[in-house]
Amino acid sequence: MVINFAAGPAKLPEEVLKEVQTNLLNCNGSGISVMEMSHRSSNYAKVQDAALADLRELLNVPSNYKILLMQGGGTGQFAAVALNLIGITGTADYVITGSWSSKAAKEAAQYGKVNAVLPKAAKYTSVPRQSTWQLDPKASYVYYCDNETVEGVEFDFVPEVASNVPLVCDMSSNFLSRPIDISKFGVIFAGAQKNIGPAGVTVIIVRDDLIGKHLKSTPSILNFELMDKNNSLLNTPPTFGIYVMGLVFKWIKSNGGVAGMAELAKAKSKLIYETIDKSDGFYYCPLDTNVRSRMNVPFRIGSAAGNDALEKEFLAKAEADGMIQLKGHRSVGGIRASLYNAITLAETQQLANLMLAFYKNNKN
């Protein structure tokens, strides 16, 4: 049995994959696969409408918010957010706490003025308190990434912004892992491939008064207004990905909802962080304790800089034991365990057991 600790595309619930397998040739009694359905057909409409309804229920999305399904992943939304919103005042605030928010800011700078509210950091290991931020009261929006997948930094608070400045959040890697108050946000987006489905789908939740603010140069495929008017069917959507994502939403509903996912995430991440903290420095996690991600746990072996030989040995042992894709992101190295919703507590315990055994065998 293989346990996939990848950061994305990531593990999907086994129950969902089995249902996909069972219905692959005959989706919902249609006689054909969902991959063959016309996106304009009534059969596909049922698939998409059910997914959107379940998501709205899971997050208690208010009626004045639209849910769009788009392509291009998080990187596409780096452009889409700016193209749809930065023209309000011509400038936007970006809270850069890791690789993905940094990339988002660089993308947005092509379409307007970007104000980095924090000094550039040599390494991303914390989230400076909001009292230190240099916010622009004339900003079109304030942007942040709730969970930085590469560095493992997760916000422990929701930023407070002026009532006239929308809060925009990239939740790609912790979407549906804890309850959120949608009304605090202007826009939330999430690429599916990390926590809710296969690669190819991006969920956008946008307050309706922010639709129609786009720059004239906004491509149709990134235009929130056109996507809304066309029920996310302006172009052919990733129908198979949306189908699988809808099944994941039902799986979450049957497993305690978002609150259930939050309890599970807390228990899994606690297990790994406690293993790190009790290793007398053998395992090292660089992050401030209060912003340690529940989704992506990065660590080194031997020291803060890591011991390449020990880390390679650990990764080889993990793979031999069926635990794969634990290697850290190429930009930071080391080891990274991604504990998304589909990873079980028992699977996390297997990783903790390996870490403990490896520590005992190599601590001297």
pLDDT confidence band for 364 (50 / 70 / 90): confident
- Residue 309 has a pLDDT of 92
**What stretch of H or E contains 361?**
helix 345-362
Per-residue model confidence as pLDDT tens digits over 305-340: 788 999 999 999 999 999 999 999 888 889 999 999
Which residue in 194, 213, 268, 327 is the catalytic one?
Answer: 194
**Taking 90 as the threshold, does the pLDDT of residue 363 lie above it?**
no
Global pTM reads 0.97
- The token pair that represents 197 in the structure block: 């489905």
**What stretch of H or E contains 297?**
strand 296-301
Task: Report which residue type is found at 234.
Answer: L
Domain 257-361, CATH among 3.90.1150.10, 1.10.3720.10, 3.40.50.720, 3.20.20.60:
3.90.1150.10
Residue 181 designated active-site: no
Residue 100 designated active-site: yes
Which residue in 54, 93, 170, 228 is the catalytic one?
Answer: 170
Residue boundaries of the structural domains of the chain = 14-255, 257-361
Determine the CATH number of domain 14-255. 3.40.640.10
pLDDT confidence band for 14 (50 / 70 / 90): very high
Residue 194 designated active-site: yes
Please name the residue that has the structure tokens 């793979």.
319
Which residue in 54, 100, 146, 251 is the catalytic one?
Answer: 100
Per-residue model confidence as pLDDT tens digits over 127-176: 999 999 999 999 999 999 999 999 999 999 999 999 999 999 999 999 99
Cα 166 versus chain centre, distance? 20
Please name the residue that has the structure tokens 């995430």.
265
Per-residue model confidence as pLDDT tens digits over 222-233: 999 999 999 999
